[in-house]
Amino acid sequence: MPISSWRPIVGTALGAGVALAVACGSASDGSAVAPGIQATFLADRSSPESASVSLVQAATAGDLVTVHASVTDVAGLYGAGFYLTVDPAIVAFVRYAPGDVLETGGHSPVYLVDASQPGLIVVSTTRLGAVPAVDVTGTRTLLSLTFRGIGVGACHVTFHGAALYGDQLQPQPMPGIRWYGGEFVGG
């Protein structure tokens, strides 16, 4: 895949590729709670199934929770794109870290993560150039996302319109992929 071909993947993510919608609660009186809230993440699926992408808790440290976007048993993976919306009064995005899937074979994929608007995180990642797609066997990490709990309550996280891409010259979403989210819990 030529370098110029990764742009449709990025364009799809920045356009209308994938939404990770979050419906969040707040303190019982409806007010926001000060930073420093211990946070955890409960995955919708404790055991990922074949041909799926799942959010799973990786680590917690006080008010920080890191979630892996994990890919399970997917052949021909070249890239992915999605955006997340969160209630910035409940959960705040802190940082991302590359995974290990697209790096297979020593390649350096591109990660575009934009969190410049509160409550919106746009993610697009792809391998570059004439390198083979990755056959994912078992469960591996696409990327990690770290959030800070800043409010008491629960935020259910669900993927909508999600897309993984193969290595076609004109990237197309892979059919048959199942997506599983979870729930942030702060308090």
What are the extents of the domains in the chain?
3-186
The predicted structure's pLDDT at residue 120 = 80
Residue 141 in tokens = 């990490």
pTM value? 0.81
13-50 pLDDT tens trace = 433 333 333 334 433 334 343 457 888 899 999 888 99
5 residue type, one letter: S
Question: Which percentage of the chain shows pLDDT scores above 90?
Answer: 52
The predicted structure's pLDDT at residue 33 = 39
Residue 102 in tokens = 């697209």
Would the pLDDT of 12 be above 50? no
Q: Are 102 and 127 in contact (CB under 8 A)?
A: yes
CATH number for the domain formed by residue range(s) 3-186: 2.60.40.680
Alpha-carbon distance of 102 to 80, in angstroms, equals: 10
Q: Which residue has the higher pLDDT, 148 or 23?
A: 148
Q: Are 22 and 155 in contact (CB under 8 A)?
A: yes
Alpha-carbon distance of 178 to 159, in angstroms, equals: 9
Of residues 112, 141, 160, 182, the one with CA closest to residue 16: 160
The predicted structure's pLDDT at residue 160 = 67
104-137 pLDDT tens trace = 999 999 999 999 988 788 889 999 988 999 999 9
